Amino acid sequence: MERYTEISRSDERLWGDRCPVLAERWCIWRDNETGAAAGQVQILSLVLPRVVGATVRLDCFGSNGEALEGREYRIEGTGLRFGMETALPLPDPATQRLVPTVTSVSFSDGSIWYAAGAPWGPVPQPEQLGAYLPEPELQKEYRDLVTSGQRAY
């Protein structure tokens, strides 16, 4: 039997207004020997100067969607993406789902960004320009340009 079992995974990107990073994906693992649960969150930096760490609140939920004890964690890392290499011990082994929220971000120049209570949610999907083109011929031309990778300018 494997030591760890993946309980859940999400690739839904979450972001808060004006936040310099987003939670790109996350997962929950169960230790089959101890019964403990751990989470992992991958952070994606959206800005310069370089991000060197983030404080992330993990709201935890059980199998019926009931709220469980959550906790804040400090995730250190450098580079564009970081965090998936860090196991975050969860307070309740019954955790089945996580919702991460970034509460602060530290930068290489020593500055810190703090969340101002803006709600977190899924990153909006971009609207396709082709839906606004009235003529079928223009829509086809737009699709051909987009899928070919060519630039129209």
- Tens-place pLDDT, residues 22-65: 999 999 999 999 999 999 999 999 998 789 999 999 999 999 99
CA distance 81 to 9: 17
pLDDT for 134? 79
Query: Is the Cα torsion angle 28, 31, 32, 36 positive or negative in sign?
Result: negative
Consecutive H or E run containing 90: none
Under 8 Å CB-to-CB from 71, ≥6 apart: which residues?
57, 58, 60, 88, 90, 91
pLDDT for 130? 65
CA distance 49 to 39: 27
pLDDT for 116? 86
pLDDT for 149? 62
Long-range contacts of 114-118, Cβ-Cβ distance < 8 Å, separation of 24 or more:
115/16, 115/19, 116/18, 118/16, 118/17, 118/18, 118/19
pLDDT for 70? 95
Low-confidence ranges of the chain (pLDDT < 70): 129-131, 149-153
- CA dihedral 80→17→75→34, nearest 10 degrees, is -120
Predicted TM-score (pTM) above 0.85: no
DSSP assignment string, 10-25: E---EEETT-SEEEEE
